[in-house]
Structure 1
């Protein structure tokens, strides 16, 4: 499942920082956000677009290179994109017009 894989990926990044407080906080946020992520992934018919997979690959490369600025920039852009997509979905008027 994409949600579980996403959690494992981001939790591993948090754990790599070796800050137990941050890791715990971030993992709780990931767990609490599962329902919202379900909505997010459904917007892609449960097939994450390639560009988002590439973002994860880019994060891994920046972390491996110890390029803090690049990792921060990539992670921020990644998070911002998710927030925009979820906000758009929540704001969309999905009511159906039914004559009564």
Structure 2
């Protein structure tokens, strides 16, 4: 997942059939203390702002705005819309 505006978007309940583990994300900001090549923190590819943009297309005018960045920062502190099935528990640290 390199250079995407949004890594994952979902509008279905069948997302639980997919596996999100061992992928590389250029947006991942974790660390690898045990040096196994995988991030020690899980990565949540679905963001609240992506959900808003999908559900309410007119909110796309906020893309790259201060408000969108603020919501994204808040999402990292308090995840609002992150189904547990859409979490990569072992994100790659280095691009394959």
Q: Going by fraction, where is helix more abundant, 1 or 2?
A: 1
**TM-score for both structures, normalised by structure 1:** 0.30
TM-score after normalising by structure 2? 0.30
